[in-house]
């Protein structure tokens, strides 16, 4: 009787192992990122600037790949179940902004390392999603709100939106479209920054709307 009781845990463990082997294994998620940052032509060189980490609403600051079926409900974001971003979009866009500025010959520093008188760029991602207006056709839509600070003073602020048609109506097509739309929005931000006056005490050093 004692030997039988001693064998029960081993038998239970063997049964659990057999059951786990018989169950279907969940498929691993396909991971995407923004791809390599290919050199841009005509990108403006910027003065030295600090770049803060991109922020976003909590639901968007995750590695889930969201899409929206506007033809069913434009109030319901959905997430792909078998596809993910490598990292949250905020991290990918932060790195892409820094890479683009450096590619254009600019000097970019993290916000924690910037000098006190160095302009600080903050970006908020308001939208980063694949959108289907009709079945089978979608676009990658990106909206970034850029704010330039000098110290605690807001110098300028502007929103930049871009969208690119997806080549396929799936997560892969959405990822490629969102990568291209991100590059377009970042290029617009760089042109906007380059067009701002650079003189101390002008637009780069005055509050927005100051006389």
Residues forming a β-bridge with 139: 131, 165
pTM of the model: 0.81
- Domains in the chain with CATH codes: 31-195 (3.40.50.10610)
Please write the tens of the pLDDT for every residue from 130-178: 999 999 999 999 999 999 999 889 999 999 999 999 999 999 999 999 9
Please write the tens of the pLDDT for every residue from 19-78: 444 444 446 899 999 999 988 777 788 888 999 999 999 999 999 999 999 999 989 999
Instruction: State the Cα torsion 6-12-13-15 to the nearest 10°.
Output: 140
For 45, which DSSP code? P
Give the integer Cα–Cα distance in Å for 186 and 96.
Answer: 8
């Amino acid at each position: 009787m004692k030997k039988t009781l001693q064998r029960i845990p081993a038998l239970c463990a063997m049964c659990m192992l057999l059951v786990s082997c018989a169950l279907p294994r969940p498929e691993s998620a396909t991971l995407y990122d923004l791809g390599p940052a290919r050199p841009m032509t005509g990108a403006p060189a910027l003065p030295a600037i600090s770049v803060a980490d991109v922020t976003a609403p909590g639901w968007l600051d995750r590695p889930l790949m969201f899409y929206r079926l506007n033809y069913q409900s434009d109030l319901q974001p959905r997430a792909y179940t078998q596809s993910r971003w490598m990292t949250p979009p905020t991290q990918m866009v932060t790195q892409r902004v820094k890479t683009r500025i450096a590619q254009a010959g600019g000097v970019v520093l993290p916000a924690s390392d910037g000098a006190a008188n160095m302009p600080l760029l903050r970006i908020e991602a308001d939208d980063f999603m694949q959108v289907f207006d009709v079945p089978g056709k979608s676009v990658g839509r990106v909206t970034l709100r850029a704010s330039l600070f000098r110290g605690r003073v807001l110098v300028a602020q502007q929103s930049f939106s871009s969208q690119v048609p997806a080549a396929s109506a799936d997560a892969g097509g959405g990822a490629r479209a969102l990568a291209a739309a991100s590059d377009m929005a970042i290029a617009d931000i760089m042109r906007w920054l380059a067009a701002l006056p650079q003189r101390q005490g002008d637009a780069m050093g005055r509050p927005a709307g100051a006389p």
